[in-house]
């Protein structure tokens, strides 16, 4: 498979992970290589439907396929997941920094808000 440009790759990864069946297939592949038939066994769907899910994961670069005769062996490829995690981490840090700055501003503003809300003594 030809590698997609970074923004497109992230779109494909996040789209592939948006489906519970595909996440389940990836979870199963953490245990190691499996055939398409083995992956399809516990699922209540047709083999062509499972193959479509596998194709989406493969297009996102999350799977590697090895073919011996008529048997397709599937393994997980963690690299695109790492890239997605790195993207999420960069944005998490940015947002947490923004929230920390907002919290500091609110804390600075609170004393003056409390002072103006105190009743005046007669």
Angle between helices 6-17 and 79-117 (to 10 degrees): 80
Q: Which fold has domain 6-77?
A: Arc Repressor Mutant, subunit A (1.10.10)
Pair 48, 93: CB distance under 8 Å = no
Token digits for 104? 């500091």
What are 8-32's pLDDT values in tens digits?
889 999 999 999 999 999 999 999 9
Phi, psi for residue 70 in degrees, rounded to 5: -100, 0
What are 26-63's pLDDT values in tens digits?
999 999 999 999 999 999 999 999 999 999 999 999 99
Model confidence, pTM:
0.70
Phi, psi for residue 46 in degrees, rounded to 5: -70, 160
Q: d(Cα 77, Cα 93) in Å, to the nearest integer?
A: 26
């Amino acid at each position: 498979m030809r590698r997609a440009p970074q923004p497109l790759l992230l779109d494909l990864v996040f789209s592939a992970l948006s489906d519970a069946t595909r996440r389940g297939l990836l979870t199963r592949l953490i245990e190691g290589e499996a055939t398409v038939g083995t992956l399809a066994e516990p699922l209540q769907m047709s083999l062509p439907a499972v193959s479509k899910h596998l194709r989406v994961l493969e297009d996102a670069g999350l799977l590697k396929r090895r073919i011996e005769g008529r048997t397709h062996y599937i393994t997980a490829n963690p690299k695109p997941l790492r890239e997605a995690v790195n993207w999420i981490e960069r944005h998490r840090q940015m947002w947490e920094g923004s929230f920390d700055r907002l919290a500091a501003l609110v804390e600075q503003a609170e004393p003056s808000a409390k002072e103006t809300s105190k009743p005046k003594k007669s």
